[in-house]
């Protein structure tokens, strides 16, 4: 029985990496076949090599099954270091009132974890200013900042995507995983300053 609130998010990987799930459509087909609330999908910008539709259309089409989003440039660097336009996908996420996790997943660690986290947060704060939110300007301050989890109280009320109060100041602190070195850790704890 599904009692702990954990979710398994099926992630599509490029066909050069696997022959199991290569598109979000394939992941969602498995989600639909299993019909279990703990089995969902996710969208990862970096793992889109086999996708044939525009990313914003993919997210809109499969939104009901997307529970997590990974962001990075197509070459694996952190957002803002390349030319990819994240705006269309994040506009769809805003339009559909996504309030789940958005995590940074990078593969080039040269700038260091703290610089990567800071620069990425700066990039997404600027991106957020460009997004047209589906509510009035006065209500925008109540929107959840990308990356905030659903409020536990909203889950108890049956609405896991209810907006949270916005946190203004965020400080990134590297968090080490067992066996990871500072040069290879991509885990960050973002806390209100």
- Domain presence at residue 72: yes
- Domain presence at residue 115: yes
pLDDT in tens, 97-141: 998 889 999 999 999 999 999 999 999 989 988 998 875 343 333
pLDDT at 6: 87
Q: Could you tell me whether strands 8-10 and 39-44 are parallel, antiparallel, or unpaired per DSSP bridges?
A: parallel
Domain with residue 28: its CATH number is 3.20.20.150
Q: Is the pLDDT of residue 12 over 70?
A: yes
pLDDT in tens, 21-72: 999 999 999 999 999 999 999 999 999 999 999 999 999 999 999 999 999 9
In 3-state terms, what secondary structure has residue 93? helix
pLDDT at 133: 80
Nearest residue to 120 (alpha-carbon basis) of 131, 108, 135, 136: 108
pLDDT at 134: 75
The mean pLDDT value for 147-155 works out to: 37
What span, in angstroms and rounded, lies between the C-alpha atoms of 84 and 26?
24
- Domain presence at residue 67: yes
Q: What crossing angle do the helices spanning 55-62 and 24-34 adopt, rounded to 10°?
A: 10
- Domain presence at residue 178: no
pLDDT at 135: 53
pTM beyond 0.85: no
Per the structure, the complete domain to which residue 84 belongs is given by 8-165
Q: Is the pLDDT of residue 145 over 70?
A: no
- Domain presence at residue 188: no
pLDDT at 21: 96
- Domain presence at residue 61: yes
Region of poorest pLDDT, from 2-6, 106-110, 116-120, 149-153: 149-153
Task: Kindly give the residue spans of alpha helices, DSSP state H, lying in 24-69.
Answer: 24-34, 55-62
Domain count, the chain: 1
pLDDT at 4: 76
Question: Can you point out the beta strands (E) in the chain?
Answer: 8-10, 39-44, 66-71, 101-104, 170-174, 188-192
- Domain presence at residue 190: no
What span, in angstroms and rounded, lies between the C-alpha atoms of 94 and 48?
21
CA dihedral angle for residue 123, residue 170, residue 138, residue 88, rounded to 10 degrees: 30
- Domain presence at residue 143: yes
């Amino acid at each position: 029985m599904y009692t702990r609130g954990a979710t398994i998010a099926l992630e599509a990987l490029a066909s050069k990496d696997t022959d199991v799930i290569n598109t979000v459509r394939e992941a969602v087909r498995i989600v639909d076949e299993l019909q279990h609330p703990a089995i969902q999908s996710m969208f990862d910008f970096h793992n889109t090599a086999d996708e044939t539709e525009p990313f914003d259309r993919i997210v809109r089409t499969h939104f009901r099954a997307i529970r997590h989003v990974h962001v990075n440039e197509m070459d694996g660097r952190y957002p803002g270091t390349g030319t990819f336009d994240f705006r269309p996908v994040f506009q769809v996420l805003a339009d559909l009132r996504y309030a789940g996790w958005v995590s940074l997943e990078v593969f080039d660690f040269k700038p260091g974890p703290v610089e990567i986290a800071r620069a990425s947060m700066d990039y997404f704060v600027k991106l957020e200013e460009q997004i047209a939110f589906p509510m009035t300007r006065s209500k925008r301050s109540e929107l959840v900042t990308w990356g905030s989890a659903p409020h536990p109280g909203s889950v108890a009320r049956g609405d896991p995507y209810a907006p949270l109060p916005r946190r203004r100041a965020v400080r990134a602190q590297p968090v080490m995983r067992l066996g990871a070195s500072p040069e290879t850790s991509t885990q960050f704890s973002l806390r209100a300053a």
